[in-house]
């Protein structure tokens, strides 16, 4: 038998050993060759200042509570695990997992916050520095740094890490994040220089729409850091930001997320002046979210000469990042780069960018080949217009650099249907483009905000495709900070004024923590966010009044219903009151479930009672005895079915009407942000998966596949962001990279391919593939907390062949296409279903 502990994990950002808390959760993955393997016990050994051991009895292996002495700041330890199976077989010890305590002790943060002395009126990029001398042999040096803005630090001319746009975006007035970087190897005997490049980015951007746009966090970036040097003889020294630091203008002459970046290579930081000591930032906490990094590079696919004679580069993929150029020319030559997602009638389509210039400029220093990439901005683009290039242009000299939060990829999907395959790839690219420090709505125009409604509907899909637990854990902390009297703002961090309640948007407070528990077995986040869940639920229950109906107030409703006029995206077929009241039930129900899991026995029955009151009020107000709803529209029926509001005896009638409405619409999309993620589930649950299949594979506008036929490489904000004649939708709000409508991918994973969690963290799986007409195969793979799970079905002369891989220490409930039901343990499995529904796509 082969029995291996293949992986040991702790709560640290991906590709990092630094943990943010004294007692991080521990997980491990076991690989076993014997079928049906389960864990009987696990031994944990922690080596550092001595050896500590602990034995876990039973099958627990995911997010196990830290059983050792709490870690001390900067403590380094090694953790290894070995397991014993129910059969008595014992594995070897795992490879050691290095863990570094990346947090500071209470009161240990002593740095002053500094900024640019006598800054200009506009946000001004700058360089900061501090020269210091070492006073002996160094055992270890750790840099703790943060900014209200973005920065990169270097020591003796070498950047301390490969992160970009750090520390990212949080509600700077209340929460900042520090990096913890081991810089021992960058120090030299004698004199050293700690330098910082600093710009405003999120901290100095103007937020809001049209004339209302304004800065929120201040006009200038701020920086704070302390370098802790531990000498070999036991002494320590701290080099912290204070009045002794200096600042100077550098080669970056202007920088903004929306505007882009200007860089004059002829300039160097040389006119140094004392920094200004400014109001301190909130004491930063250690990072829990993944770093933003350069993830991938794409070459130019085509060089286009537009009808007006401009040179435009096509990278073949709508992406988020910036360009890296190699150029040789005379000093003072300016190369200009403009970015956009689409071409409109052959020219760069910049109108959807609104006030975002999305333009970078590089002024050459001259004297040879120069390489440059903007540092403190990013753009959403597929196309870039290039102007001012000296000499003969070679497309090999321009590369698109993809950046986003560096999360581990955990989910994959494939199918024989080429358009659906591309649809899924578009979902993946949409996630990558919008998971950059915070989960944004779009990455290109003058917005890029953490809209709560988008992530509320997309979290299940995101949780399959990437390990987003730490990313969303961090964002949920910000959501709780920005709540006011329980009310969740439209965007987090909130930069759009006082928080106002909106159904399906504010419900991110309850839905996102619940999904993290469902997909990652994350009770810690659920417990920490419980008061936030309660606060939101209490607020909207109060708004629903004695009738328990949330009616007559502002709502986004079923946002971007395809029948809504371009400039009235909330004008949906489904009443906003139905959407609102459905979500009152949803949040009360989830709060009751969370209270039960967390042992809040005094509160769980109360929220369960509230949820039932709302459910009954919803049925009385909006559902007739014959299964019709007052809003005879697909989103209304989908909400009642998927949220389990409707009584079981009425569910089928509602499902039948939903299917009828879908067919009457020629199987084109009739739903917006609220209905689109759940309509396929509503149809499936009520026996109309054939209707869901036709809805999925429709190519006429509006549909999921219409953008694919138009060449889309990400999910669009509107069903018709690009009209069939190649004209951009006339609505002011038009993005070509919005992931919300891509939430259908979760149904592709769970239903078409047939891989879903049946217990938190996939401790138990559901394997239930659905071979749909028009598909020869579909498969999904997911790196669960227990290891890789995989399901594939394929048509053959025998019927439908289903293959599954179940991770060790789990089991699965299997329902085959021919109706057979069974329970299986871990290992590889194969079944053949001789079902009459097995029709090849070519038939």
Are 573 and 665 spatial neighbours (Cβ–Cβ below 8 Å)? Answer: no
Strands 799-815, 764-767: pairing is parallel
3-state helix, strand, coil in the chain (%, to 5): 25, 35, 45
Among 434, 344, 463, 449, which Cα is nearest to 715's? 434
Spatial neighbors of 697 by CB under 8 A, at least 6 apart, are 417, 419, 420, 705, 774
Are 715 and 742 spatial neighbours (Cβ–Cβ below 8 Å)? Answer: yes
The verdict on whether 717 is a catalytic residue reads yes
Among 378, 391, 396, 384, which Cα is nearest to 434's? 378
Angstrom CA distances, 53 to 68, 73, 80, stand at 8, 21, 10
Among 447, 472, 446, 444, which Cα is nearest to 458's? 472
**Class of residue 242 by CB neighbours under 10 A (exposed 0-12, middle 13-18, buried 19+):** middle
Spatial neighbors of 496 by CB under 8 A, at least 6 apart, are 207, 208, 449, 489, 490
Give the integer Cα–Cα distance in Å for 513 and 519.
10
Active-site pick, 717, 768, 779, 811: 717
Q: Residue 724, preceding bond cis, omega within 30 degrees?
A: no
Among 754, 715, 700, which Cα is nearest to 415's? 754
Give the integer Cα–Cα distance in Å for 738 and 715.
6
Strands 398-405, 764-767: pairing is unpaired
Phi, psi of 714 (to 5 degrees): -140, 175
Among 338, 381, 383, which Cα is nearest to 359's? 338
Are 555 and 619 spatial neighbours (Cβ–Cβ below 8 Å)? Answer: no
Are 164 and 294 spatial neighbours (Cβ–Cβ below 8 Å)? Answer: yes
**Class of residue 692 by CB neighbours under 10 A (exposed 0-12, middle 13-18, buried 19+):** buried
Among 782, 423, 668, which Cα is nearest to 791's? 782
Active-site pick, 375, 447, 518, 524: 447
Q: Taking the mean position of all CA atoms in its chain, how far away is CA 342?
A: 24
Q: Taking the mean position of all CA atoms in its chain, how far away is CA 165?
A: 16
Give the integer Cα–Cα distance in Å for 241 and 613.
57
Buried b (16+ CB within 10 A) or exposed e, 196-206: bbbbbbbbbbb
Q: Residue 455, preceding bond cis, omega within 30 degrees?
A: no
Place of tokens 């004024």: 497
Give the integer Cα–Cα distance in Å for 61 and 47.
20
Give the integer Cα–Cα distance in Å for 555 and 588.
19
Are 586 and 517 spatial neighbours (Cβ–Cβ below 8 Å)? Answer: no
| Tokens coding 717 | 């904000």
Give the integer Cα–Cα distance in Å for 392 and 371.
16
Among 511, 493, 505, 507, which Cα is nearest to 452's? 505
| Tokens coding 801 | 């062949």
Give the integer Cα–Cα distance in Å for 694 and 679.
12
Query: Which residues carry out catalysis?
Result: 447, 717
């Amino acid at each position: 038998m082969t029995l291996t502990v293949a992986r040991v994990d702790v709560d640290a950002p991906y590709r990092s050993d630094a943990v943010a808390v004294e007692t991080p959760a521990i997980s491990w993955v076991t690989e076993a060759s014997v079928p049906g393997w389960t864990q009987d016990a696990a031994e944990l050994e922690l080596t550092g200042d001595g050896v500590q051991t602990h034995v876990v009895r039973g099958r627990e292996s995911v997010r196990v509570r830290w059983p050792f002495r709490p870690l001390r700041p900067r403590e380094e330890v090694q953790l290894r695990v070995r397991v014993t199976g129910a059969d008595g077989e014992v594995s070897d010890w795992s490879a050691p997992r290095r863990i570094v305590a990346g947090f500071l002790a209470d009161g240990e943060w002593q740095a002053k916050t500094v900024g640019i002395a006598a800054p200009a009126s506009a946000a001004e990029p700058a360089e900061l520095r501090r020269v210091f001398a070492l006073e002996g042999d160094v055992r270890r040096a750790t840099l703790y740094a943060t900014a209200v803005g973005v920065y990169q630090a270097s020591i003796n001319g070498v950047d301390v890490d490969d992160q970009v746009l750090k520390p990212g975006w949080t509600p700077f007035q209340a929460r900042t994040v520090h990096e913890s970087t081991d810089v021992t190897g960058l120090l030299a005997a004698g004199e050293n220089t700690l330098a910082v490049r600093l710009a405003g980015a999120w901290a100095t951007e103007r937020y809001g729409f049209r004339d209302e746009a304004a800065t929120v966090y201040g006009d200038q970036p701020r920086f704070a850091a302390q370098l802790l040097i531990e000498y070999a003889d036991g002494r320590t020294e701290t080099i912290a930001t204070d009045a002794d630091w200096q600042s100077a203008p550098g080669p970056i002459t202007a920088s903004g997320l929306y505007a882009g970046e200007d860089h004059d290579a002829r300039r160097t930081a040389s006119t140094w002046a004392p920094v200004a000591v400014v109001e301190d930032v909130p004491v930063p906490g250690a990072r829990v979210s993944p770093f933003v990094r350069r993830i991938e590079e794409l070459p130019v696919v085509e060089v286009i000469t537009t009808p007006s004679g401009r040179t435009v580069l096509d990278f073949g993929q709508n992406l988020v990042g910036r360009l890296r150029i190699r150029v040789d020319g005379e000093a003072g030559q300016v190369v200009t780069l403009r970015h956009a997602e689409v071409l409109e009638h052959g020219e760069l389509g910049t109108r959807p960018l609104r006030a975002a210039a999305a333009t970078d400029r590089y002024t050459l220093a001259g004297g040879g080949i120069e390489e440059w990439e903007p540092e403190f901005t990013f753009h959403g683009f597929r196309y870039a217009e290039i102007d001012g290039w000296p000499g003969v242009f070679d497309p090999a000299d321009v590369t698109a650099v993809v950046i986003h939060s560096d999360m581990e990829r955990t989910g994959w999907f494939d199918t024989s249907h080429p358009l659906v395959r591309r649809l899924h790839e578009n979902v993946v690219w949409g996630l990558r483009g919008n998971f950059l420090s915070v989960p944004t709505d779009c990455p290109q125009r003058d917005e890029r905000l953490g809209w709560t409604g988008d992530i509320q509907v997309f979290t299940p899909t995101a949780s399959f495709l990437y390990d987003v637990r730490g990313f969303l854990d961090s964002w949920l902390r910000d959501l709780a900070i920005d709540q006011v009297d329980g009310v969740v703002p439209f965007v987090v961090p909130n930069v759009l004024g006082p928080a106002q309640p909106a159904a399906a948007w504010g419900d991110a407070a309850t839905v996102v923590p619940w999904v993290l528990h469902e997909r990652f077995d994350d009770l810690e986040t659920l417990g920490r966010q419980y008061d936030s869940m309660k606060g939101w639920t209490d607020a909207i229950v109060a708004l629903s009044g004695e009738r328990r109906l949330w009616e007559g107030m502002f709502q986004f409703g079923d946002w971007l219903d395809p029948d809504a006029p371009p400039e009235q995206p909330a004008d949906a077929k489904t009443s906003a009151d139905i959407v609102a009241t459905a979500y009152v039930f949803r949040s009360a129900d989830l709060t009751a479930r969370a209270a039960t899991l967390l042992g809040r026995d005094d509160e769980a029955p109360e929220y369960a009672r509230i949820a039932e009151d709302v459910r009954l009020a919803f049925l009385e107000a909006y559902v007739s005895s014959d299964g019709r709803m007052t809003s005879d529209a697909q989103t209304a029926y989908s909400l009642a079915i998927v949220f389990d509001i409707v009584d079981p005896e009425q569910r089928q009638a509602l499902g039948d009407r939903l299917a009828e409405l879908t067919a009457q619409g020629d199987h084109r999309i009739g739903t917006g942000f609220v209905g689109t993620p759940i309509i396929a589930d509503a149809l499936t649950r009520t026996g109309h998966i054939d209707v869901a299949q036709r809805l999925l594979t429709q190519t006429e506008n509006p549909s999921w596949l219409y953008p694919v036929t138009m060449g889309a490489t990400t999910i669009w904000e509107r069903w018709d962001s690009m009209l069939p004649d190649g004209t951009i939708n006339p609505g002011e709000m038009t993005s070509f990279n919005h992931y919300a409508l891509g939430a259908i991918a979760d149904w592709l994973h769970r239903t078409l391919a047939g891989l879903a969690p049946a217990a938190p963290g996939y401790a138990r799986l559901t394997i239930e593939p659905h071979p749909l007409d028009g598909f020869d195969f579909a498969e999904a793979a997911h790196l669960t907390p227990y290891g890789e799970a995989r399901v594939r079905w394929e048509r053959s002369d025998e019927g439908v062949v289903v293959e599954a891989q179940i991770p060790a220490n789990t089991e699965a409930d299997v329902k085959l296409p021919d109706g057979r039901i069974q329970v299986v343990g871990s290992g590889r499995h194969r079944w053949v279903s001789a079902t009459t529904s097995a029709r090849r796509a070519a038939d």
